[in-house]
Amino acid sequence: MAVTRREFLKGSVVAGAGLAAGVGMPSLITAQGKEPVKIGVLHSLSGTMAISEVSLRDVVLMAVDEVNAKGGVMGRKIQPVVVDPASNWDLFAEKAKQLLLQDKVAVVFGCWTSVSRKSVLPVFENNNGLLFYPVQYKGEECSKNVFY
């Protein structure tokens, strides 16, 4: 049976939030278990790449709504934190750092181009964050901090 992109992304949202809520971020478990699990959404909503990336943001938010409508993950709702790197590769790294360190997201879904992914890679590796990269990947890079 073929898996649609939507089913894959919805499964990724559940897996990412579940991993962060259970195994990946044990400190979240002690937070009464009722606070939402924050996830970052790092797609350009303005600039030249917005035409491609706005729909990716919409799909992530749709998947979050579906998961939350069914009770969330481990009884906790998912709270998306959406930022706009504005098709600026340097801003991708700044926004990734903001999501991980300031907004304290458990996982990030984002980047549409190789250059945006390469811009944020050091941020995720240096801060032990997890990025779900939504594009078919061509190889030549391997990081424990990126789900390709």
For 13-51, how does the pLDDT look when each residue is reduced to its tens digit (9 = 90+)? 656 655 555 544 444 444 456 899 999 999 999 999 999
CATH code (residue 47): 3.40.50.2300
What pLDDT was estimated at residue 137?
72
What pLDDT was estimated at residue 139?
76
Q: How many domains does the chain have?
A: 1
Containing domain of residue 55, as a range?
5-27+34-147
Low-confidence ranges of the chain (pLDDT < 50): 23-31
What pLDDT was estimated at residue 89?
94
Helix (H, G, I), strand (E, B) or coil at 131: strand
Q: Write down the pTM of the prediction.
A: 0.79
